[in-house]
Amino acid sequence: MSFIQKYRALGKPDRRRMRKEFFINNSLYIFLVAAIAAIQIYNPHFLSGPSLVNIISLSAANLPIALGIAGAIILTGTDLSAGRIVGLVACVSASLLQATGYPNKMFPSLPTLNLFLVFLIAIAIGALVGFINGFCTSRFNLHPFIVTLSTQLIVYGGLLIYLMSGNNNGQSISGLDPSYTGFITGSFISLGKTPIPNYVWYSLVITVIIWFIWNKTAFGKNMYAVGSNAEAANVSGVNVKRTITLVFVLAGVMYGITGFIEAARIGSNSAATGLNYELDAIAASVIGGVSFVGGIGKVRGVILGVVLLRLIFVGLTFLSIDANMQYIIKGLIILVACAIDMRKYLVRK
């Protein structure tokens, strides 16, 4: 029976309750759509071609990290180390792919490495930190919040030490090789006159792969099972410890990919690269319906959350809203998304 058929079959008091449930459960989406419409009326350039390409590009850059963190949230955990892993990988990738002959090259005697080799290094770094997160969470029964908070600090310390090495002395790493920047930010398709960067397509491919892993593999089904009820999953024969470890490794791989893309996208990488990226990713995941109580979340929800959040942030910039006020509005959106998630759980129970 569809939603409308169910609604028509009810009496007046039940219809009133159903309308209330619908509006409260979807209140955040209603607010975001209304805000976007209001911003478009206030400033008609908001949804113009160049602006849309900008929004799509920013969303595509944040999508892999959001998909990684969503996996951790589905396991009733979180991952606070995501942003710092992105920063570390971005700086390492940038340092290994600086242009030959660049005056402030970090390792002057090192030639510009092969792009694919550096991509593998980026993924390996992300996977290693992810493995540490997953291993400590699953083997020592520590809450992911504490484990990832610790690895966040360790990774940040490692990044600061790395930036002091070679010729760098703590400076930003820039002067990237044109083959690297062209591979990431170059374009072969445009929307009107605005070129769509290549990393949008890479993000799409990664999203399809993650969708396949989550929905069509035993590992994906085990992830949802462990997130819903780890004890029941264990009794059913699922290796809970291995599943948790692999989810965090997969998340680490996604952060590595994000870092590799981000290094070329922003061009100049420092210790501040990746700062607070995990907060936006967690917010996008929760807005997209990934539940903190575990076992619930879809790839299309994460995509929706990332795009909606990016639309709002770009919209707030279009309104010339004070950057400090944007933090407050962002925090309120996250709070409401978490409250709606909690409400759905309470009503279900």
Partner 1 sequence: MSKKLFDGKVSRVPLWVVDTVIITGIAAAAILVVLEMI
Strand partners, 176: 98
User: Closest CB to partner 1 among 191 and 321?
Assistant: 321
Q: How many helices (H) and strands (E) does the chain have?
A: 15, 2
Answer whether 86's CB lies under 8 Å from 255's CB.
yes
Q: How far is the CB of 44 from partner 1 (least distance, A)?
A: 15
Write each residue from 36 to 75 as x if it is in contact with partner 1 (CB under 8 A), else as -, in one continuous string.
--x---x---------------------------------
Choose which of 59, 76, 198, 222 interacts with partner 1 (CB under 8 A). 76
Q: Tokens in use for 221?
A: 């089904």
Neighbours of 23 (CB within 10 A): 10
Can residue 333 be called a binding residue for partner 1 (CB under 8 A)? yes
| Cβ closest to partner 1, residue 115 vs residue 225 | 225
Which residues inside 181-200 make contact with partner 1, applying CB under 8 A? none
Cα 36 to chain centroid, rounded: 22
Please select the residue that binds partner 1; options are 7, 18, 27, 149, rule is CB under 8 A: 27
Side-chain-side CA neighbours of 57 within 13 Å: the count stands at: 22
Residues 109-148 touching partner 1, rule: CB under 8 A, are 143
Distance (Å, rounded) from C-alpha 250 to C-alpha 258? 12
- C-alpha 22/C-alpha 161 separation (Å) is 52
β-strand partners of 195: 190
28 binds partner 1 (CB under 8 A): yes
**Cβ closest to partner 1, residue 12 vs residue 349:** 349
Backbone angles phi, psi at 42, to 5 degrees: -65, -40
Question: In angstroms, what CA-CA distances link 280 with 67, 102, 205, 332?
Answer: 12, 34, 21, 13
Rule CB under 8 A: say whether 257 interacts with partner 1. no
The least CB distance from residue 33 to partner 1, in Å, is 12
Question: In the set 40, 293, 298, 304, which binds partner 1 (CB under 8 A)?
Answer: 293
The stretch near partner 1 (CB under 8 A) out of 82-90, 115-123, 215-223, 332-340 is: 332-340
Spatial contact of 220 and 295, defined as CB atoms under 8 Å apart = no
Cβ 7 to partner 1 shortest distance, Å: 20
**Position of tokens 């955040």?**
28
For the chain, what is the largest distance between any 2 Cα atoms, rounded to a whole number of angstroms? 78
Interface residue with partner 1 among 16, 31, 116, 162 (CB under 8 A) is 31
Nearer to partner 1, 107 or 344 (CB): 344
Number of residues counted as binding partner 1 (CB under 8 A): 30
Q: Which residues bind partner 1 (CB under 8 A)?
A: 24, 27-28, 31, 35, 38, 42, 76, 143, 293, 316, 319-322, 325, 328-329, 332-333, 335-336, 339-340, 342-343, 345-347, 349
